[in-house]
Amino acid sequence: MNNTVICPGSFDPVTLGHVDIIKRASKMFDKVIVAVLVNMSKTPSFTIDERIGFLKKAVGDIENVEIVGFSGLLADYAKERGAKAVVKGLRAMSDFEYEFQMALTNKKLNPELDTVFLTTDSQYMYLSSSMVKQIASLGGDISYFVPACIHEQVFERLKITETRKDLSK
Ligand code: ADP
């Protein structure tokens, strides 16, 4: 049976919340494609290559996990890759309405495609990439929130970006 699933996201940057979901999905399904959004409505802080690079360091050693850049419709990409479900993490109730809408839309566009929600680990309930960026830009310690193997790289890069922004004011 084909048990390929897709974990889509901007991963700008990947957090321990994302890693937890990807690891758990990798134990439940034969193959997990981590699809990193190339075109985002908001300009990302990290380039597509940086975001993919961070993910490769964080979860690239898991045998059944593939990390790819992706643009276009998720419903089409899933069909192209033969994936039968989208796996998403659910944090607070605030995630629910948007994720429910996305799941129903994807199902309409690709009736073969289901969405599976994994409840976040309680310690990551309030963790998001934007929170990581905010903390790092204020010089805070992000080591609790991003994988140890990338936290210095992420921190240095965000510090530089924020210093540039300050200088251009
Ligand atoms: P963010 O919402 O942090 O900007 P993304 O768009 O990259 O993140 O998130 C991709 C998916 O990863 C989200 O739809 C959500 O399902 C999941 N996710 C993000 N953060 C967490 C977390 N802390 N715990 C569980 N799942 C998460």
- Sign (positive or negative) of CA dihedral 59, 61, 66, 67: positive
Sorted by sequence, the CB contacts under 8 Å of residue 138 that are 6+ apart come out as none
The amino acid at 20: D
pLDDT class for 24, splitting at 50, 70, 90?
A: very high
> Which pTM was predicted?
0.92
- Check residue 137 and give its pLDDT: 86
Active site residue 91: yes
- Distance from residue 88's CA to the centre of ligand 1 (Å): 7
- Average model confidence (pLDDT) across the chain: 91
Q: How far apart (Å, rounded) are the C-alpha atoms in residues 169 and 155?
A: 21
Residue 119: both structure tokens together:
């409840």
SS3 for the chain, per residue?
A: CCCEEEEEECCCCCCHHHHHHHHHHHHHCCEEEEEEECCCCCCCCCCHHHHHHHHHHHHCCCCCEEEEEECCCHHHHHHHHCCCEEEEEECCHHHHHHHHHHHHHHHHHCCCCEEEEEECCHHHCCCCHHHHHHHHHCCCCCCCCCCCCCHHHHHHHHHHHHHHHHHCC
Q: How far apart (Å, rounded) are the C-alpha atoms in residues 57 and 50?
A: 11
Question: Residues 100, 36, 111, CA angle at the centre, nearest 5°?
Answer: 40
Residue with tokens 């990409």, as numbered in its chain: 77
Active site residue 18: yes
- Check residue 9 and give its pLDDT: 96
Active site residue 151: no
109-136 pLDDT per residue, tens: 999 999 999 999 999 998 999 999 999 9
Q: Among the atoms of ligand 1, which is closest to the Cα of residue 11?
A: 7
Out of 6, 18, 36, 124, mutate this one to test ligand 1's pocket (max ligand atoms within 8 Å of CB): namely 18
Give the closest residue (by CA) to ligand 1 atom 17.
89
Q: Is the CB of 11 under 6 A from ligand 1?
A: yes
**How many other C-beta atoms lie within 10 A of the C-beta of residue 156?**
11
